[in-house]
Amino acid sequence: MLYTCNMQKIENSALPAAWLTEIQRTFMNYDIPEDEWEQFRNRLKGLKIERGEFLVQEGSPPEQIAFILSGIFRAFYLTEKGEERTIVFRDKGKVLSAYSSYIKDQPAVFSIQALEPGLLVYISIEEFENLLRNHPFWEMLKSRYIMDLFIDKEKRERSLLSDDAETRYKIFLNDYPGFIKRISHYYIASYLGISNVTLSRIRRDIKLQNS
Amino acid sequence: MLYTCNMQKIENSALPAAWLTEIQRTFMNYDIPEDEWEQFRNRLKGLKIERGEFLVQEGSPPEQIAFILSGIFRAFYLTEKGEERTIVFRDKGKVLSAYSSYIKDQPAVFSIQALEPGLLVYISIEEFENLLRNHPFWEMLKSRYIMDLFIDKEKRERSLLSDDAETRYKIFLNDYPGFIKRISHYYIASYLGISNVTLSRIRRDIKLQNS
DNA sequence: TAGCTCCATTAACATAGGTTAATGAAACCT
DNA sequence: AGGTTTCATTAACCTATGTTAATGGAGCTA
């Protein structure tokens, strides 16, 4: 996989209205008032990204908060031994950001990579900070969002502590429907905390159980 | 270990001033304004708890946010097989609550148990809600606190994904200085995600390495 | 002090998962 | 179509960790 950089930026004025409607749907749960949405929308830009490219690089400060229109992305880091560990996958309708590093105002502790060609809409951290300063609503949204992230993490901690590899794989299938066909098993194994060989074994065992 | 209930409540008016000073120190990082502190302090109560007793029971709604003056506590849950998994230990100077369940307004997904006789000062969830309604400061503190929790969880996820048992044990020794002597190794193993036998083996190996 | 309980340690054995390497199928390129 | 690359699968072997059970020390209680 090549790590070239052919990302294509799309200015706010050139964003298709349909994309913005799509993004608005991402935030339905957060009940954004119309006037706040107005402010937000005017700060958005678009990004076309190719398979293998990085939206965020481990060690660099996070630059944007993005929303996925299409494609699959993963957040991952390298262990001391140089092995990859995948923290999370994200696809259409999800937020994509090195959020915790932004919160801590520190360089990203993981990279974010496109696993398929993708379309993103994003707001730069700088613009988001402007929004925060003048619109308390966004401070509220920021903290509600981190609660959601925290709940996800708590769930993952629990699974890593109590479930064996096969169970974790079945939970993955459930949490990420369709991903098993779209993503290299190598990445899935690195998310489950097992080797790709073990993942294959598990898949064979499940097949045998079902026949 | 017996699970009797001999908790002893201490009314606000009977709280020693020294305890309150101690609590204030817990919150130093959060820069609580004097008048907010006043409001908060008047809603606090004390609790004496014995070894083995539960502050929070898995499945019950969380009732308070507590601050540890003395003692050691752990949060844990039971797996489907009935095995215990410890999520976190906490001692003097730390906040103690089924916080995520409070946030989600759901029953606690873990229990909190005293591993030593302990002293707590707490505010009931109900009173804290009253505070929230009239004092925006506390909403801010609430979200800053969840950020801290999130960062802890991220660290733990990373460790569970990339570190082997021996490394996790060494990190435990570092993160929780002195705990190895105060807590049953059985609980520590359940925190590290290994059996108590494996923990003993690791300890022996480290001894051998150092001699 | 004797007896009891708790619990850390150790040994012996069993199992899950890692590592390396070989194979073959699918996708991609020219 | 031929060649190349990618990658899931499988086998063989190895290591880490789990399970069970035995041992013995520390601390408590009568």
> Each residue's pLDDT tens digit in chain A (211 positions)?
334 567 889 999 999 999 999 898 888 888 888 999 999 999 999 999 989 899 999 999 999 999 999 999 999 999 998 899 999 999 999 999 999 999 999 999 999 999 999 999 999 999 999 999 988 889 889 888 999 999 999 999 999 999 999 999 999 999 999 999 999 999 999 999 999 999 999 999 999 988 7
Q: Quote the pLDDT of residue A42.
A: 95
Q: How far is CA A20 from the centre of its chain?
A: 19
A to B CB pairs, distance under 8 Å: 74
Nucleotides of strand D lying closer than 7 angstroms to a protein CB:
6-12, 16-21
Run means of pLDDT, 10 residues per run, chain B, 211 residues? 68 95 85 90 95 93 96 96 95 94 95 95 96 89 92 96 97 96 96 97 93 75
Please, which residues have CB within 8 angstroms of residue A115's CB and are 6 or more apart in sequence? A51, A52, A71, A72, A73, A74, A89, A182, A183, A184, A187
Q: Token pair of B88, please? A: 């976190």
- Distance from CA(B190) to C1'(D8), angstroms, rounded: 35
Which protein residue's Cα is closest to nucleotide C8 at C1'? B200
Nearest to B153 among A140, A154, A193 (CB): A154
Asked if residue A124 lies in contact with residue A62, where contact means CB atoms within 8 angstroms, the answer is no
Which protein residue's Cα is closest to nucleotide D18 at C1'? B195
Residue whose token pair is 């890593």: A160
Min Cα–Cα distance to chain A from B153, Å: 6
pLDDT digits (tens, 9 = 90+) for B57-85: 999 999 999 999 999 999 999 999 899 99
Q: Is the CA virtual torsion B180, B183, B184, B188 positive or negative?
A: negative
Q: What are phi and psi of B49, to 5 degrees?
A: -130, 145
Chain A residues touching residue B193 (CB < 8 angstroms): 160-161
- End-to-end Cα distance, chain B: 36
Q: Token pair of A96, please? A: 């994509």
User: Is the pTM higher than 0.85?
Assistant: yes
Chain A residues touching residue B137 (CB < 8 angstroms): none
B1 at interface of A, judged by CB pairs closer than 8 A: no
- Distance from CA(B179) to C1'(C11), angstroms, rounded: 28
Q: Quote the pLDDT of residue B30.
A: 82
B78 at interface of A, judged by CB pairs closer than 8 A: no
Q: Which of residues 147-186 of A have CB within 7 Å of strand D?
A: 184-186
Proportion of chain A in helix, strand, coil states, percent, rounded to 5: 50, 20, 30
Q: Which nucleotide has its C1' atom closest to residue B198's CA?
A: D17
CA angle A144, B126, A138 (to 5 degrees): 20
Q: With CA atoms as reference, report the closest residue to A51 among A199, A197, A182.
A: A182
Q: With CA atoms as reference, report the closest residue to A194 among A171, A175, A173, A166.
A: A166
Inter-chain CB proximity A85 and B162 less than 8 Å: yes
Asked if residue A6 lies in contact with residue A53, where contact means CB atoms within 8 angstroms, the answer is yes
Cβ of B186 near strand C (under 7 Å)? The reply is yes
- Distance from CA(A196) to C1'(C20), angstroms, rounded: 13
Helical residues (DSSP H) of chain A, grouped into ranges: 17-26, 34-41, 99-104, 125-134, 136-162, 165-175, 179-182, 185-192, 196-209
Nucleotides of strand C lying closer than 7 angstroms to a protein CB:
6-12, 16-21
Cβ of B167 near strand C (under 7 Å)? The reply is no
- Distance from CA(B91) to C1'(D28), angstroms, rounded: 26
Tell me the three-class secondary structure of chain B, residue by residue: CCCCCCCEEECHHHCCHHHHHHHHHHCHHHCCCHHHHHHHHCCCEEEEECCCCEEECCCCCCCEEEEEEECEEEEEEECCCCCEEEEEEEECCCEECCHHHHHHCCCCCCEEEECCCEEEEEEEHHHHHHHHHHCHHHHHHHHHHHHHHHHHHHHHHHHHHHCCHHHHHHHHHHHCCCHHHHCCHHHHHHHHCCCHHHHHHHHHHHHHHCC
Asked if residue A159 lies in contact with residue A168, where contact means CB atoms within 8 angstroms, the answer is yes
Asked if residue B111 lies in contact with residue B96, where contact means CB atoms within 8 angstroms, the answer is no
Please, which residues have CB within 8 angstroms of residue B105's CB and are 6 or more apart in sequence? none
Q: Quote the pLDDT of residue A31.
A: 84
Q: Quote the pLDDT of residue A201.
A: 97
A153 at interface of B, judged by CB pairs closer than 8 A: yes
Burial of A148 (0-12, 13-18, 19+ CB in 10 A): middle
Asked if residue A74 lies in contact with residue A114, where contact means CB atoms within 8 angstroms, the answer is no
d(CA B72, CA B92): 7
Q: Which nucleotide has its C1' atom closest to residue A192's CA?
A: C17
- Distance from CA(B81) to C1'(C17), angstroms, rounded: 21
